[in-house]
Protein backbone atom coordinates (compact mmCIF):
# COMPACT_ATOMS: atom_id res chain seq x y z
CA UNK A 1 0.00 0.00 0.00
CA UNK A 2 1.36 3.44 -0.97
CA UNK A 3 0.32 6.84 0.40
CA UNK A 4 0.31 10.04 -1.64
CA UNK A 5 0.03 13.14 0.53
CA UNK A 6 -2.10 15.92 -0.83
CA UNK A 7 -2.92 19.42 0.32
CA UNK A 8 -4.40 20.10 3.73
CA UNK A 9 -5.23 16.67 5.00
CA UNK A 10 -6.01 14.77 1.81
CA UNK A 11 -4.29 11.42 1.46
CA UNK A 12 -4.73 9.07 -1.46
CA UNK A 13 -3.99 5.47 -0.53
CA UNK A 14 -3.04 3.20 -3.41
CA UNK A 15 -4.03 -0.31 -2.45
CA UNK A 16 -2.45 -3.55 -3.62
CA UNK A 17 -5.34 -4.28 -5.97
CA UNK A 18 -4.75 -1.06 -7.86
CA UNK A 19 -7.71 0.74 -6.33
CA UNK A 20 -7.34 4.13 -4.71
CA UNK A 21 -9.14 5.32 -1.62
CA UNK A 22 -9.40 8.84 -0.22
CA UNK A 23 -8.63 9.36 3.47
CA UNK A 24 -9.28 12.69 5.15
CA UNK A 25 -6.71 13.48 7.83
CA UNK A 26 -7.98 15.34 10.92
CA UNK A 27 -5.41 18.11 10.62
CA UNK A 28 -3.43 19.70 7.73
CA UNK A 29 -0.41 17.86 6.39
CA UNK A 30 1.42 20.58 4.48
CA UNK A 31 2.33 24.08 5.64
CA UNK A 32 -0.08 26.64 4.17
CA UNK A 33 0.47 30.22 3.03
CA UNK A 34 -0.08 32.71 5.86
CA UNK A 35 -2.19 35.81 5.24
CA UNK A 36 -2.80 38.91 7.35
CA UNK A 37 -6.24 40.37 8.06
CA UNK A 38 -5.56 43.12 5.51
CA UNK A 39 -4.69 40.55 2.84
CA UNK A 40 -7.86 38.59 3.59
CA UNK A 41 -9.96 41.73 3.20
CA UNK A 42 -8.24 42.49 -0.12
CA UNK A 43 -9.11 39.06 -1.49
CA UNK A 44 -12.70 39.38 -0.31
CA UNK A 45 -12.99 42.64 -2.22
CA UNK A 46 -11.65 41.05 -5.40
CA UNK A 47 -14.74 39.29 -6.73
CA UNK A 48 -18.10 37.63 -6.18
CA UNK A 49 -16.61 34.20 -5.32
CA UNK A 50 -13.34 34.99 -3.54
CA UNK A 51 -10.78 32.19 -3.32
CA UNK A 52 -9.18 31.70 0.10
CA UNK A 53 -8.49 27.98 -0.14
CA UNK A 54 -5.62 26.10 1.54
CA UNK A 55 -4.37 29.09 3.56
CA UNK A 56 -3.26 29.64 7.14
CA UNK A 57 -5.65 32.11 8.82
CA UNK A 58 -5.34 30.69 12.32
CA UNK A 59 -6.06 33.08 15.16
CA UNK A 60 -7.00 36.04 12.94
CA UNK A 61 -9.75 38.48 13.91
CA UNK A 62 -12.17 38.19 11.00
CA UNK A 63 -15.32 39.07 12.94
CA UNK A 64 -18.18 40.44 10.86
CA UNK A 65 -16.47 40.00 7.48
CA UNK A 66 -18.43 39.02 4.35
CA UNK A 67 -17.33 35.58 3.10
CA UNK A 68 -20.47 34.87 1.08
CA UNK A 69 -19.87 32.10 -1.50
CA UNK A 70 -16.14 32.15 -0.71
CA UNK A 71 -13.95 29.13 -1.42
CA UNK A 72 -12.27 28.34 1.92
CA UNK A 73 -11.56 24.67 1.27
CA UNK A 74 -8.83 23.23 3.46
CA UNK A 75 -8.00 26.54 5.12
CA UNK A 76 -6.71 26.63 8.69
CA UNK A 77 -8.91 28.86 10.86
CA UNK A 78 -8.04 27.37 14.22
CA UNK A 79 -8.94 29.79 17.07
CA UNK A 80 -9.92 32.47 14.53
CA UNK A 81 -12.62 35.01 15.40
CA UNK A 82 -15.46 34.79 12.87
CA UNK A 83 -18.20 36.00 15.19
CA UNK A 84 -21.02 37.57 13.18
CA UNK A 85 -19.31 36.76 9.88
CA UNK A 86 -21.39 36.11 6.76
CA UNK A 87 -20.48 32.67 5.38
CA UNK A 88 -23.65 31.99 3.42
CA UNK A 89 -23.02 29.45 0.69
CA UNK A 90 -19.31 29.28 1.48
CA UNK A 91 -17.26 26.16 0.77
CA UNK A 92 -15.81 25.10 4.13
CA UNK A 93 -14.97 21.51 3.19
CA UNK A 94 -11.93 20.21 5.12
CA UNK A 95 -11.56 23.53 6.96
CA UNK A 96 -9.93 23.47 10.40
CA UNK A 97 -12.07 25.62 12.74
CA UNK A 98 -10.99 24.00 15.99
CA UNK A 99 -11.81 26.30 18.97
CA UNK A 100 -12.86 29.08 16.57
CA UNK A 101 -15.39 31.77 17.48
CA UNK A 102 -18.46 31.70 15.21
CA UNK A 103 -21.11 33.06 17.55
CA UNK A 104 -23.91 34.64 15.55
CA UNK A 105 -22.25 33.77 12.23
CA UNK A 106 -24.41 33.08 9.17
CA UNK A 107 -23.54 29.74 7.53
CA UNK A 108 -26.86 29.09 5.80
CA UNK A 109 -26.39 26.86 2.78
CA UNK A 110 -22.66 26.44 3.43
CA UNK A 111 -20.82 23.15 2.92
CA UNK A 112 -18.56 21.91 5.72
CA UNK A 113 -17.87 18.33 4.65
CA UNK A 114 -15.25 16.71 6.91
CA UNK A 115 -14.45 20.06 8.52
CA UNK A 116 -13.12 20.17 12.08
CA UNK A 117 -15.16 22.42 14.41
CA UNK A 118 -14.28 20.69 17.67
CA UNK A 119 -14.59 23.09 20.59
CA UNK A 120 -15.90 25.89 18.36
CA UNK A 121 -18.37 28.51 19.63
CA UNK A 122 -21.41 28.47 17.33
CA UNK A 123 -23.93 29.92 19.76
CA UNK A 124 -26.82 31.63 17.95
CA UNK A 125 -25.27 30.75 14.57
CA UNK A 126 -27.46 30.24 11.50
CA UNK A 127 -26.79 26.92 9.78
CA UNK A 128 -30.14 26.25 8.11
CA UNK A 129 -29.83 24.01 5.06
CA UNK A 130 -26.07 23.62 5.47
CA UNK A 131 -24.11 20.43 4.70
CA UNK A 132 -22.45 19.60 8.03
CA UNK A 133 -20.91 16.13 7.99
CA UNK A 134 -18.16 17.40 10.27
CA UNK A 135 -16.52 17.08 13.67
CA UNK A 136 -18.39 19.15 16.30
CA UNK A 137 -17.00 17.40 19.38
CA UNK A 138 -17.45 19.65 22.45
CA UNK A 139 -18.68 22.48 20.19
CA UNK A 140 -21.26 24.91 21.56
CA UNK A 141 -24.28 25.16 19.24
CA UNK A 142 -26.67 26.46 21.86
CA UNK A 143 -29.64 28.26 20.28
CA UNK A 144 -28.19 27.66 16.80
CA UNK A 145 -30.55 27.44 13.83
CA UNK A 146 -30.05 24.15 11.95
CA UNK A 147 -33.44 23.65 10.34
CA UNK A 148 -33.16 21.25 7.42
CA UNK A 149 -29.39 20.87 7.76
CA UNK A 150 -27.78 17.71 6.39
CA UNK A 151 -25.55 16.05 8.99
CA UNK A 152 -26.24 12.48 7.90
CA UNK A 153 -23.42 10.04 7.17
CA UNK A 154 -22.09 10.01 3.64
CA UNK A 155 -22.70 6.44 2.45
CA UNK A 156 -21.36 6.90 -1.09
CA UNK A 157 -17.71 6.08 -0.37
CA UNK A 158 -17.02 4.22 2.86
CA UNK A 159 -13.86 2.36 1.79
CA UNK A 160 -11.77 4.37 4.28
CA UNK A 161 -14.28 4.53 7.13
CA UNK A 162 -17.64 6.07 7.97
CA UNK A 163 -17.82 9.79 7.25
CA UNK A 164 -20.44 11.11 9.66
CA UNK A 165 -21.23 14.01 11.95
CA UNK A 166 -19.43 13.79 15.29
CA UNK A 167 -21.09 15.55 18.22
CA UNK A 168 -19.82 13.88 21.43
CA UNK A 169 -20.43 16.23 24.40
CA UNK A 170 -21.61 18.98 22.05
CA UNK A 171 -24.02 21.59 23.41
CA UNK A 172 -27.21 21.97 21.36
CA UNK A 173 -29.49 23.27 24.10
CA UNK A 174 -32.45 25.24 22.69
CA UNK A 175 -31.15 24.74 19.15
CA UNK A 176 -33.61 24.47 16.26
CA UNK A 177 -32.96 21.08 14.65
CA UNK A 178 -36.34 20.67 12.99
CA UNK A 179 -36.10 18.26 10.08
CA UNK A 180 -32.33 17.90 10.45
CA UNK A 181 -30.74 14.76 8.97
CA UNK A 182 -28.41 13.22 11.55
CA UNK A 183 -28.51 9.54 10.60
CA UNK A 184 -25.59 7.50 11.95
CA UNK A 185 -24.21 10.47 13.89
CA UNK A 186 -21.95 10.05 16.90
CA UNK A 187 -23.39 12.16 19.73
CA UNK A 188 -22.72 10.46 23.05
CA UNK A 189 -23.49 12.73 26.04
CA UNK A 190 -24.57 15.58 23.77
CA UNK A 191 -26.89 18.20 25.29
CA UNK A 192 -30.16 18.53 23.34
CA UNK A 193 -32.10 20.01 26.28
CA UNK A 194 -35.13 22.06 25.15
CA UNK A 195 -34.06 21.69 21.51
CA UNK A 196 -36.56 21.52 18.66
CA UNK A 197 -36.09 18.09 17.05
CA UNK A 198 -39.47 17.83 15.34
CA UNK A 199 -39.17 15.42 12.42
CA UNK A 200 -35.41 15.00 12.91
CA UNK A 201 -33.73 11.84 11.59
CA UNK A 202 -31.62 10.34 14.40
CA UNK A 203 -31.74 6.80 13.09
CA UNK A 204 -28.73 4.60 13.88
CA UNK A 205 -27.13 7.41 15.92
CA UNK A 206 -24.92 6.78 18.93
CA UNK A 207 -26.78 8.76 21.61
CA UNK A 208 -25.76 7.04 24.84
CA UNK A 209 -26.05 9.46 27.75
CA UNK A 210 -27.48 12.26 25.58
CA UNK A 211 -29.78 14.75 27.33
CA UNK A 212 -33.14 15.43 25.63
CA UNK A 213 -34.77 17.02 28.69
CA UNK A 214 -37.63 19.27 27.62
CA UNK A 215 -36.85 18.76 23.94
CA UNK A 216 -39.58 18.53 21.29
CA UNK A 217 -39.19 15.09 19.71
CA UNK A 218 -42.48 15.06 17.83
CA UNK A 219 -42.14 12.82 14.80
CA UNK A 220 -38.39 12.25 15.29
CA UNK A 221 -36.88 8.98 14.06
CA UNK A 222 -34.55 7.04 16.39
CA UNK A 223 -34.75 3.66 14.66
CA UNK A 224 -31.75 1.46 15.54
CA UNK A 225 -30.23 4.25 17.63
CA UNK A 226 -28.24 3.61 20.82
CA UNK A 227 -30.02 5.48 23.62
CA UNK A 228 -28.48 3.77 26.64
CA UNK A 229 -28.72 6.08 29.64
CA UNK A 230 -30.30 8.90 27.63
CA UNK A 231 -32.42 11.47 29.47
CA UNK A 232 -35.88 12.40 28.16
CA UNK A 233 -37.42 13.99 31.23
CA UNK A 234 -40.16 16.39 30.16
CA UNK A 235 -39.57 15.73 26.46
CA UNK A 236 -42.54 16.43 24.17
CA UNK A 237 -44.00 14.07 21.57
CA UNK A 238 -42.51 10.91 23.08
CA UNK A 239 -45.47 8.83 21.84
CA UNK A 240 -44.78 9.92 18.23
CA UNK A 241 -41.05 9.07 18.13
CA UNK A 242 -40.39 6.42 15.48
CA UNK A 243 -38.40 3.39 16.67
CA UNK A 244 -38.12 4.48 20.30
CA UNK A 245 -39.58 1.31 21.81
CA UNK A 246 -37.13 -0.89 19.90
CA UNK A 247 -34.05 1.31 20.31
CA UNK A 248 -30.92 -0.03 21.99
CA UNK A 249 -30.97 0.74 25.72
CA UNK A 250 -34.66 1.72 25.76
CA UNK A 251 -35.05 0.27 29.23
CA UNK A 252 -32.33 2.56 30.62
CA UNK A 253 -33.81 5.81 29.27
CA UNK A 254 -34.85 8.25 32.01
CA UNK A 255 -38.34 9.57 31.34
CA UNK A 256 -38.91 10.96 34.84
pLDDT value at residue 253: 97
Residue 36: count other Cβ atoms within 10 Å of its Cβ.
10
What tens digit of pLDDT does each residue of 188-216 get? 999 999 999 999 999 999 999 999 999 99
pLDDT value at residue 108: 98
pLDDT value at residue 22: 41
Instruction: Decide yes or no: CATH 2.160.20.80 for domain 146-256.
Output: yes
What tens digit of pLDDT does each residue of 229-253 get? 999 999 999 999 999 999 999 999 9
pLDDT value at residue 6: 46
Range in 122-126, 151-155, 211-215 with the lowest mean pLDDT = 151-155
**29-133: CATH number:** 2.160.20.80
Judge whether residue 24 has pLDDT over 90: no
pLDDT value at residue 156: 61
| Domain boundaries, given as residue ranges, for the chain | 29-133, 146-256
pLDDT value at residue 155: 64
Whether residue 50 contacts residue 30, with contact meaning beta carbons closer than 8 Å, is answered with no
In DSSP terms, 52 is beta-bridged to none
Parallel/antiparallel/unpaired status of strands 20-24 and 10-14: antiparallel
Three-class SS string for the chain? CEEEECCCCEEEEECCCCCEEEEECCCCCCCCEECCHHHHHHHHCCCCCCECCCEECCCCECCCCECCCCECCCCECCCCECCCCECCCCECCCCECCCCECCCCECCCCECCCCECCCCECCCCECCCCECCCECCCCECCCCECCCCECCCECCCCCCCCECCECCCCECCCCECCCCECCCCECCCCECCCCECCCCECCCCECCCCECCCCECCCCECCCCECCCCECCCCECHHHCECCCCCECHHHCECC
Domains 29-133 and 146-256 agree in fold: yes
Judge whether residue 64 has pLDDT over 60: yes
For the chain, what percent of residues have pLDDT higher than 90?
Answer: 81
Reported as a pLDDT band with limits 50, 70 and 90, residue 12 is very low
Spatial separation of the C-alpha atoms in residues 157 and 138, rounded to whole Å:
27
To the question of pTM greater than 0.85 for the whole model, the response is yes
Residue 161 or 217, more confident: 217
Amino acid sequence: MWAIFGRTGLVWLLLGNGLAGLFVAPEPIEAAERLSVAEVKARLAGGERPVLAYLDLAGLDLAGLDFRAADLRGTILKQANLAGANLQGANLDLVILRDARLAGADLRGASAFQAVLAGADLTDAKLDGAMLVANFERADLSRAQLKGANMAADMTNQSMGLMRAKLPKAKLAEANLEGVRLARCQAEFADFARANLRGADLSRCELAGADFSGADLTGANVSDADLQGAIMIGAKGIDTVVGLADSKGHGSIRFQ
